A and B are shown apart, each in its own frame.
Chain A
Amino acid sequence: MTRLETIASVGRRALPNHWDVLALGAILAGLVAIVNAFHGMNGPLPAANQPALDLSYWSLPYYALRTVLRMFAALFFSFVFTFTYATMAAKSRRLEIVLIPILDILQSVPILGFLSFTVTFFLGLFPGSVLGGECAAIFAIFTSQAWNMAFSFYQSLRTVPRDLDEVSRGFRLTGWQKFWQLEAPFAVPGLIWNTMMSMSGGWFFVVASEAITVGDTTVTLPGVGSYIAAANDQGRWDAIIAAVVTMAVVILIYDQLLFRPVIAWAGKFRVETTASQVVEQSWALNILQRTHWLRSAYLPLVAALRSAALWRIGAPASFRRRQSAPSSAASRLLDATWIAAVVAAALWALWTVVRYVGTELSWDDALNVVGLTCITLLRVVILMALASAVWVPVSVWIGLRPPIAERVQPLAQFLAAFPVNLLFGGAVSIVLAFNLNPDIWLSLLIVFGTQWYIVFNVIAGASAFPNDLREAAASFHVRGWQWWKNVILPGVLPYYFTGAITASGGSWNASIVAEYVKWKDHTVTAHGVGAYIAEATEKGDFPKIVLGVAVMSVFVTLFNRLFWRQLYAYAERRLRL
C-alpha cells in the first residue's frame, strides 16, 4: 500500500476555538447526567449472574468468536451512526455548527475513560443481565471507530466533485437516489480506509472492555480479553500464550478475509482520471469475484440492493443548496437564535460539570490532575520521539527495498491491529521480577502497539518516493546526514505525520491501561493521569473520573491542534510530492 491515505480529521482548520470548549462541556455534561441518573437511582450497581471463566484451551475458539461478534456489532452501529450523523452535518448548516465540534472533541477524548460511564449506564439499563455488559463493551468499541468514520464520510460528502453532482441534479435524482448513486460511492475509499484503520485499533478496546471493574461491580464477558484478565490474575503463562496465539490467528483471518479484500474492492470507487498505478490485490476478493457459483449466489442480492438504491424517495434537489442559501433577514434571525440557544445549552452544561466535580473535589485536586497529565504528556512525547528515532530509519531502509517492503508491510499492519494489552500482564510480571522502576518501564507499554502505525506509514512513504529524485541525489553524491535532511525525510514526512498522529492518539488511550497494570495480586502503577483515571474507575469515584477525563481531553485536543495538525498542514502544503 503505497498510497498516502489521509486521516479524516487532520486536514481541518487547526486552532481550537470557542466551539471546542462548548463541545467539550456538552460531552462531559452528558456523561455526568448518565452517572447521576443511574448511579444515584440504583445505589451499588447490580451485578449480573456471570458464568465463571474457563481457562482451558478448548474454550478459546468460542471466546474468540464472542470477541469477534462484539467487534462486528460495534461496526454495524458505527456505520449506522456514520450514515446519519455525518449526513446530517453535511446537509444542514445549522446542525453542522453543533455536530462537527462535538465530533472533533469526541475524537480526542480518551475512549477508555468513557468505559466506567458507559458500563454504569448500560448496567442500569439492563439490571441483572449480561446484556448491559455486552452493550457497554460494544459501545466502547463503537466509540473507537465511529468518530473517525463519521469524519471521513462528512468530508467526502462535502467534497463531491462538482461535475458529478451536476450530473445527478441534471437527471433529477432524488435525495435517496443521489445518496446511493453518488455520495455514498464517492465516500467509499476514504470511509473504508478509515473504517479498517479504526477496526485495527478496535481490537485493543474490545480486549480492554471485556473485563472491567467499576466500584463494586465487576463485569466479565466471555471473550479473549477476559480470558487473559483471568490468566493474569492467576499468573498462568501458558494460558496467556494460548490467548495471544488465538488472537494472532483471529487478526490474521480478519486481515486476509476482510481488510485486504475490502480495501481492494474499494479501489473501484476512486475518482481518478487514469487507471491507478497502485492496485491493491487480495486473493480472497479474486476468488469471490471469479468463482461461478459464488457469484451466482451473491449477484441477485447485489441486484436487489441496486434497485433499492434507485427508489424515488424524497424530492429532486433543485438549485444548488449552499449557493442559494437564503440570506434573508428572517433566516439570519433564525441563525442567530439557533446559535444563541446552542451556546446557552453548552454553557449550562459546562457549569453543571464544574458544579458536579466541585462538590467533592477542590482546586488542589484539579492542579494535581494537571500535573499528572503533564507527566503522561511527557511520557507520550518521549516515547513517540524514541519510537520515531528507532523506526523511521529502519522503515525508510525497508521502504526503499521493494522486495523486503512487500513482506514487512503486511506484518506491520498486522502488528498495529494486534491488541498489545494482552501482553501487559506478562510485561508487568517482568517489571516485578526484576524490581524495575514502573515510571520508566511501564512507559514502554504506551507505544508497544502504536509504534507500528509509524512503521507502516513510513514504509509506504519510502516506497512511494520517486525514483528520479533518488537518482538525482545519488548522481550529485548527496550522502549521510544531508541525504536524510534534504532528500528522504521531506519525502516521507507527510506519511510519517499520518502514522504519528494515529500513534499519538492511540498512546494516550493506552496510557489508561498501561500506567495501571495488574499481575496476580500485585498492581503496578506509574505516575500519570492514565493511572489516575484507571484507579478512580476501579473505585467507582465518578467526580475524579470526570476530572481526569476532562483534563486529559483538553490536553489531547490542544496537543493535536497546536502540534500535530500544524505539522501535518505544513507537510501537506510544502512537502506533498
Chain B
Amino acid sequence: MLEVVSTPVLLDVSHVSQSYRKGSGEEGPPILDDVSMTLKEGEIVGLLGRSGCGKSTLLRIIAGLAKPTAGEVDFQGQPVAGPVQGVAMVFQSFALYPWLSVLDNVELGLRAQGEAPEETRKRALAAIDLIGLDGYESAYPKELSGGMRQRVGFARALVVDPKILLMDEPFSALDVLTAETLRTDLLELWSEGRMPIKSILMVTHNIEEAVLMCDRILVLASNPGRIASEIKVTLRHPRDRLDAEFRQLVELIYAQMTQRPAPKAAGREGGLAGAGLAMELPRVSTNSLAGLLEELAAPPYNGRADLPHLADALQLEIDDLFPLAETLQLLRFAELEEGDMKLTPAGKRFVEADIDQRKKMFGDHLLANVPLAARIKRVLDERPSHRAPATRFRDEIEDYMSEDYAERTLRAVINLGRYGELFAYDENAQAFSLENPQ
C-alpha cells in the first residue's frame, strides 16, 4: 500500500463493453461502454455509481460470471474466460445456501475442488476463526443476523485463498451499525495483512463508504456505464469521517455525481429542451418529493442545502436521494449545483401552496418539462374516446431505452401523472384515460 509505484498489475480490464440482449438475440442498448481499468497489488479500489450504471455488471465480467460483448479482462496476464481460481466474490444478498450450515457453506468452495476433507475442515475453521464466527459453525444461515451472514460470506470467499476479493455492495443490506462494524473489522484485517488477498475491488453506491475504505475510487456515469473520473484517496487508515480532508473528498464526489452532463449527452438527467422521449424517469414517491421540498424550504436549510448533509440528516442513500433531487430539478422545483441543492421560486410557491394548488402546479410542471407526460396527455386529448393503451407509449420509448428502463419510466410517469391529475391509468386494462371513476 505504501509503495504504489512498482507494484504489479493483478487485473487489467481493457475496452470492455456490454449490451443488453433482447429476446430475439440482437444487441440492445449498451450497459457498459468502453471501460478500462487496472487493479494493482495492495490496493482497495471502489467502483462508485448509482443504480443502473453497470457497476455490478462490470464486477461480474471481471469475476468471469458474464461475458462482455467487446473487450477483454486479464487476470495475472491470462485472459478471463469464465470463473477463475484466485478471484472470490462477496454478495450484497450474502448468497448463502440456506440448506447448508455455516461450516458447510464455508467448506463448499474447497470441497468442490476435491480438497481432502481434513484439510478443508482445517482451513474452513481457520477462516471462520479469522472472521469472528467462532461458535456459529453448526448454525444455519436463517438463524443468523444479517451481519453474521455476511461474515459467513466473507469466510466463504477467503477460505479459497483468492488473490482478489470482489465485493458487490457487501454492506448495503445491513443496518448502519452492523455495516460500520464489518467495515472496520475488514479494514483491520486488511491493514494488518492477515488475509491472503492481494487486493480488493468493491462496488458501492455509498460515497462515504468509498472514501472510508478505498485507495482509489472510480466514479461511474450511467447510461451507458463508463468511468467518469478517478479519485485517489491518500488518507491513512483508520480514517476519520469528521476529518476535514475526508469531508472535502465527499463533497467533491457529490458535486461530480450531480453535475449536469455535458450538453451532448444532455436530456436524460439534465432535462433540457429537445430531450424528447429518450428521457428516463426514476421511480420516486410524490410524497417524498413534496417532503424533500418542504425540508429544503425549512430551517436550517432555508432554500439551499449541502447534499451530503441532507443525505445524512434524512438518512437517505444516494440511490434514494439523487432520483428525488433530479426529478425535482427536472420539474424545475429545485436546482443542483456544486453538490448543493437550491429551491427555485416555483419550488417555494409549491411549498407554500395548499394540496389542490400543489397538484395543479405539479401537473403544469410535468406537462411543461416531461415530454412523455405531455405526449400521453396530447394523445388522450386528441382521441375521441380519450383512452390509449399503455403499449402504444411503451413501444415508442423502447426505441430509446431497454425494456426494463422503458417499463420503469412508464411506471414513473403514471405515478407522477396521477398525482398531477393529468390522466388516469387502469392497471387491469393497461390503458390510460382522461376520466376518473365517477
Contacts and interface: CB of A to CB of B under 8 A. Distances in A.
B93 A163 contact: yes
Contacts of B111: 310
The number of chain A residues touching the other chain, given as a range, is 35 or more
Interface in A290-308: 307
A318 B81 contact: yes
A320 interface: yes
A327 B117 CA distance: 43
Contact of B85 (A172, A275, A327): A172
Contacts of B99: 185, 188, 268-269
Nearest to B60: A166
B112 A177 contact: yes
A261 to B, nearest CB: 17
Contacts of A330: none
Contacts of B25: 325, 327
Given A170-B89, A185-B99, A319 B67 contact: yes
Interface string A318-344: 111001110100000000000000000
Contact of B83 (A270, A316, A324): A316
A319 B81 CA distance: 8
A183 B121 CA distance: 24
A164 B98 CA distance: 10
B371 interface: no
B142 A272 contact: yes
Q: DSSP class of B's interface residues: helix, strand, loop or mixed?
A: loop
B82 A318 contact: yes
B65 A166 contact: yes
Contacts of B428: 574
A334 to B, nearest CB: 14
B95 A163 contact: yes
A349 interface: no
A173 B85 CA distance: 12
A512 B160 CA distance: 60
Interface in A230-273: 268-272
Contacts of B65: 166, 169-170, 319-320
Interface string B49-69: 000000000001001111100
Contact of B97 (A174, A185, A307): A185
Contact of A166 (B91, B117, B142, B143): B91
A327 B23 CA distance: 11
A170 B97 contact: no
Contact of A171 (B67, B83, B100): B83
Given A181-B108, A312-B114, A319-B66, A171 B82 contact: no
A324 B66 CA distance: 9
Given A319-B82, A323-B66, A181 B143 contact: no
B400 interface: no
Interface residues of B, number: 37
A172 B88 contact: no
Interface string B72-103: 00000000011101011101110101111000
Contact of B91 (A167, A171, A173, A276): A167
Contacts of B138: none
B67 A268 contact: no
A370 to B, nearest CB: 34
B391 to A, nearest CB: 17
A183 to B, nearest CB: 11
B436 interface: no
B140 interface: yes
B332 to A, nearest CB: 37
Interface in B380-438: 428
A224 B164 CA distance: 65
Contacts of B92: 163
A166 B112 contact: no
A55 interface: no
A269 B81 contact: no
Contact of B98 (A163, A270, A320): A270
Contacts of A307: 117
A318 B65 CA distance: 7
Contacts of A170: 63-65, 83, 87-89
B287 interface: no
Interface string A153-193: 00000000101101101111110010001100100100000
A163 B428 CA distance: 33
B248 interface: no
A163 B88 CA distance: 13
B323 interface: no
Contacts of A269: 98-99
B83 A172 contact: yes
B109 interface: yes
Contacts of A270: 98
Contacts of A166: 60, 63, 65, 89, 91, 95
B234 interface: no
B98 A171 contact: no
B6 interface: no
A325 B112 CA distance: 26
A182 B95 CA distance: 11
A484 B99 CA distance: 41
Given A163-B93, A275-B142, 18 more contacts: A163-B92, A166-B65, A167-B89, A169-B83, A170-B88, A171-B108, A172-B113, A268-B140, A269-B99, A270-B98, A271-B98, A310-B114, A318-B82, A319-B81, A323-B66, A324-B67, A327-B25, A327-B26
Interface of B: 21, 25-26, 60, 63-67, 81-83, 85, 87-89, 91-93, 95, 97-100, 108-109, 111-114, 117, 140, 142-143, 156, 160, 428
6 contacts: A166-B60, A166-B63, A167-B97, A307-B117, A310-B112, A319-B81
